[in-house]
Amino acid sequence: MPKKPAPSPATDNQLHDHQPGAEQPAFSTEQGNGGELHQTVAYGAHPAAYLTDNFGHRIADNQNSLRAGERGPTLLEDFVLREKIFHFDHERIPERIVHARGSGAHGVFECTKAIPGLTKASIFQTEGASCPVFVRFSTVAGGAGSVDTPRDVRGFAVKLYTDSGNWDLVGNNIPVFFIQDAMKFPDLVHSVKMEADRGYPQAASAHDTFWDFIGLMPEAMHMIMWAMSDRTIPRSLRMIEGFGVHTFRFVNEKGDGKFVKFHWKPVLGIQSTTWDEAVKIAGADPDFHRRDLFEAIDAGDFPAWDLGVQVFDEAFAAKQPYDVLDATKLIPEEDVPVEIVGRMTLNRNVDNFFAETEQVAFLPSNIIPGIDFSNDPLLQGRLFSYLDTQKSRLGTTNFHQIPINAPKCPFHNFQRDGMMQTLVPTGRANYEPNSLAEAGENGGPRPSPATGFNAFTTNDERNDPTQKLRVRAELFADHFSQARMFYLSQTENEQAHIASALVFELSKVTLDHVRVRVVGQLRNIDDNLAKRVADGLAIDLPAKEKAARAPVDLKPSDALSIQKNADDTMEGRKVAILFAEGSDKAAIDALKATIEKAGGTAFLVAPKVGGIKVKGGTLKADGQLAGSPSVLFDAIASILTDDQAKTLSKQGAAVQWFMDAFGHCKTIAHDEATQILLDKAGVEKDSGVVTLDGFAKVGTRRHWAREAKVRDLA
């Protein structure tokens, strides 16, 4: 007699014994905080809901594949199995080439000042007009699995769902960019990404190919000043500025147009970390920025930004010593003040990271009536690139390697990788210009002006303003004036940070001629800066690289400095309070109340988590000492007994806790018992090392005068 097949767990155990009339999956449409319509389906919301495939077919058995007999082969006709495996195999899509690591959130934008005279854009016609938004913050160079805190530009992309259609303002936390023409964007990204022959470094620009490219592209030097400043190591995504980067146009109902630049200014103010702090945060919490944004919104501390505009006409543009269509230039706020016209508030976290943050597609070409493009060549290239990018995430860019599409003659370029890549390029030169041939490496192909393709131009070229040319306007050749202005606008301490960042990055470069060339370019910005970097690298100060156009001295702009605009507010900041068994609960409660009253968050740290007996009761720590290093906080405080302080002074984690806070120029508030720990950590008395009573007055601001004592700066 044949052996009876083993029972199906689902049928024999009656896990899904559905009865006629059982409640089915419920579909509903709700309105979110930003006014958006949100459709949800409550799969499994009721224990008797039917399990179906994606087309609504009820599934009788979700445990076993369909077989030809008990021990026979699985049948191809099993559509339930095929659908599950098919969907699983395609749950991931190619990550973004740049801006792969992102964090997103929903919110609302409200017009706070109507400007119908400047633009007919519907969102700016009446005060109080509002629309939902979705914002994606990101790093640029690293992959989706990289960390949050490398030295990198931060993407700041906003999708406004207006009643006239979607307006995507796709920018960065820096108002200028490395290059002037989109033609060079693939080369820039290739150079900063992992080197082609070795696959590293990840999420870092401190390597040969990036600085080789930068040394050969002097137009990048203004952006380099920003990139090497503290702007690229922010404290929080809630505390960065956003910029549209390009010059756009406002157009009003009469058809009159003016140039406009867009600014997002954080209500919490701008704040950065130190480089050492950023590195240690990466080790302590790789998701520091993503977690910070999520937890702030989850707690109801909704981050907000004011939208500002700089509006000017052609007459103003023509008088400037720079071209307003040049993305490597900014317009100083002292020349054209930023006018605040709206506020954006992020008030809801995503429901599903993949469905929203990963699949969101931003297009600079998404604009609404009243906003238009300028002839900025970098912007013009982006108008094509983003649409093409979104399509490429659904397929392959290597369709030209399919035999029917492949050329019959040789082809050589720097385009690499991609899905279905059948070629095997060698060497690490995948960008141009490069100077790797100077180091004996294969530098790859070069342009051929004489025999290469040239666009047709009219016969009367000199008198035709519409002629097609591969040229740049004369003022685009000034690569150093604003770079110098940015550097000279910084405090002495910030200048030291820039010089030290350059020394660190260039110390990772192994090609000697690349380091020399970059320092030679720095001499066009500031000789003292170049000398500091050369000294830090232990190389002779090289000759100044030739500038295509002599720089002019521009008036420094205080708006370009973080420290000159530092806000002493405690709002949005996090303060750690270290305590242990026997600590005074009343003192802890009083300090916590002071912090929270000022808008900050108190985080209790102890050698152990859980309930700890203290003077006056029991306290539960928010985090354990070894797992809550001081780099995660904006300031620290300590309330200990003499015995506990002596015990902790023998523990490396505790000593390092104070040593790092002191080294990162943070406020340290302490009681008398903690002095033994301060002495062990090398903490010296200064304006930022205060008693508990003095903490409220000093707050969470950085004490930069201390920095020269705790580290060597270039």
pLDDT tens profile 485-513: 999 999 999 999 999 999 999 999 999 99
Does the annotation flag 185 for ligand binding?
yes
Q: What is the CATH number of the domain that holds 257?
A: 2.40.180.10
What does the block give as tokens for 57?
Answer: 């077919």
Which residues lie below 8 Å from residue 449, measured CB to CB, with a gap of 6+? Answer: none
Q: What are phi and psi of 300, to 5 degrees?
A: 90, 5
* Per-residue pLDDT reduced to its tens digit, 344-385: 999 999 998 887 888 788 888 888 889 998 888 889 888 888
More confident of the two residues 455 and 213: 213
- What type of residue is 564? K
Task: Let me know the angle formed at the C-alpha of 370 by 365 and 375, rounded to the nearest 5 degrees.
Answer: 50
Does the annotation flag 136 for ligand binding?
yes
Report the run of H or E that residue 171 belongs to, with start and end.
Answer: strand 165-172
Q: CB count, 10 Å around CB of 227? A: 22
Query: Is the pTM of the predicted complex or chain greater than 0.95?
Result: no
What does the pLDDT read at residue 391? 64
Does the annotation flag 382 for ligand binding?
yes
Last residue of a domain, one of 361, 392, 423: 392
Does the annotation flag 393 for ligand binding?
yes
Report the run of H or E that residue 296 belongs to, with start and end.
Answer: helix 288-298
Domain span at residue 661?
A: 570-710
What does the pLDDT read at residue 463? 52
What does the pLDDT read at residue 434? 87
Count of domains observed in the chain: 2
What does the pLDDT read at residue 263? 98
What does the pLDDT read at residue 402? 59
Q: Is 375 a catalytic residue?
A: no
Please state, in angstroms and rounded to a whole number, the distance separating the CA atoms of residues 275 and 116: 45
Sheet containing strand 635-638, strands side by side: 623-624, 601-606, 574-578, 635-638, 667-670, 689-691
Nearest to 176 by CA among 135, 220, 125: 220
In a domain, 499, yes or no: no
Of 40-54, 81-95, 568-582, where does mean pLDDT reach its minimum?
A: 40-54
Please state, in angstroms and rounded to a whole number, the distance separating the CA atoms of residues 574 and 593: 13
Last residue of a domain, one of 345, 366, 392: 392
In a domain, 441, yes or no: no
Q: How far is CA 119 from CA 96, 173, 256, in A?
A: 33, 25, 9
Q: CB count, 10 Å around CB of 104? A: 22
Does the annotation flag 386 for ligand binding?
yes
In a domain, 678, yes or no: yes
In a domain, 660, yes or no: yes
What does the pLDDT read at residue 472? 86
Spell out a b/e string for 431-450, using b for 16 or more CB atoms within 10 Å of the CB, else e: bbebbbeeeeeebbeeeeee
| 298: confidence class by pLDDT, cuts 50, 70, 90 | very high
Q: Which of 99, 190, 263, 664 is catalytic?
A: 99
In a domain, 556, yes or no: no
CB of 491 within 8 A of CB of 703?
no
* Per-residue pLDDT reduced to its tens digit, 684-698: 999 999 999 999 999
Last residue of a domain, one of 352, 375, 392: 392
> Which percentage of the chain shows pLDDT scores above 90?
65
Please state, in angstroms and rounded to a whole number, the distance separating the CA atoms of residues 30 and 66: 40
Does the annotation flag 238 for ligand binding?
no
Q: Which of 106, 172, 190, 289 is catalytic?
A: 172
Whether 54 shows a pLDDT value over 70: the answer reads yes
Please state, in angstroms and rounded to a whole number, the distance separating the CA atoms of residues 209 and 434: 8
How many CA atoms are closer than 13 Å to the CA of 648, on its beta-carbon side?
32
| 7: confidence class by pLDDT, cuts 50, 70, 90 | very low
Q: Is 99 a catalytic residue?
A: yes
In a domain, 651, yes or no: yes
Residues paired with 578 in a beta bridge: 605, 638
Nearest to 141 by CA among 78, 229, 207: 207
In a domain, 70, yes or no: no
What does the pLDDT read at residue 531? 98
How many CA atoms are closer than 13 Å to the CA of 87, on its beta-carbon side?
7
CB of 591 within 8 A of CB of 695?
yes
In a domain, 523, yes or no: no
| 460: confidence class by pLDDT, cuts 50, 70, 90 | very low
